[in-house]
């Protein structure tokens, strides 16, 4: 499934009967990403998102934000099968949007970290689609693409 960034950020849920905004059920605690080597993939995302390690057991690594809140957890999966961009037999499984100020500058930085620009990402204004070192898609977006 491809996210249409032109639609903007997620909208708040509205009750069909009243049209009022529903109360939040919970808050995002962490995003869990399966991978073959948690240490290696966590290192990529530490640099991409300016996060630090909160925990590292060998089988999982937890990255935290500056406030110490867990944000992303990488867990080892021995039979990991990487997603393939636009292949419905191996869907993207998850992706992360990363807000940047300049797509060209950010692209050079993520490519240097080991990301790959995905085929079919036509570099429109507002966002571009990449794969992390083990194949998970992620997008660099600018305010125009949000």
Query: Using CA atoms, how far apart are residues 127 and 116, in angstroms rounded to an integer?
Result: 14
Look at the block and give the residue holding tokens 């499934």.
1
Kindly give the confidence (pLDDT) of every residue in the chain, 146 residues in length, as a single tens digit, with 9 standing for 90 and above: 233 333 333 333 444 455 555 566 566 678 889 999 999 999 999 999 999 999 999 999 999 999 998 899 999 999 998 988 888 888 777 778 898 888 899 999 999 999 999 987 767 778 899 999 999 888 888 888 76
What is the helix (H) or strand (E) element at residue 121, kind and residue range?
Answer: none
Read off the DSSP letter of residue 66. Answer: T
Q: Which two tokens stand for residue 42?
A: 């966590």
Query: Which pLDDT does position 27 carry in this prediction?
Result: 66
Query: Using CA atoms, how far apart are residues 86 and 96, in angstroms rounded to an integer?
Result: 16
Query: Using CA atoms, how far apart are residues 57 and 65, in angstroms rounded to an integer?
Result: 19
Q: Which two tokens stand for residue 50?
A: 């300016």
Query: Which pLDDT does position 62 carry in this prediction?
Result: 94
Question: What does pTM read for this prediction?
Answer: 0.66
Query: Using CA atoms, how far apart are residues 64 and 37, in angstroms rounded to an integer?
Result: 18
């Amino acid at each position: 499934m491809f996210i249409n960034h032109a639609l903007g950020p997620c909208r708040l849920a509205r009750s069909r009967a009243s049209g009022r905004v529903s109360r939040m059920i919970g808050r995002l605690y962490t995003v869990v990403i399966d991978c073959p080597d948690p240490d290696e993939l966590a290192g990529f995302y530490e640099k991409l998102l300016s996060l630090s390690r909160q925990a590292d057991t060998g089988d999982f690594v937890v990255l935290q934000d500056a406030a110490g809140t867990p944000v992303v957890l990488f867990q080892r999966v021995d039979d990991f099968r990487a997603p393939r961009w636009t292949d419905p037999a191996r869907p993207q499984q998850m992706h992360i949007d990363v807000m940047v100020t300049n797509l060209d500058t950010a692209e050079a930085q993520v490519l240097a970290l080991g990301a790959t620009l995905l085929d079919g990402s036509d570099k429109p204004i507002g966002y571009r689609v990449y794969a992390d070192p083990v194949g998970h898609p992620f997008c660099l977006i600018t305010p125009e693409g949000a």
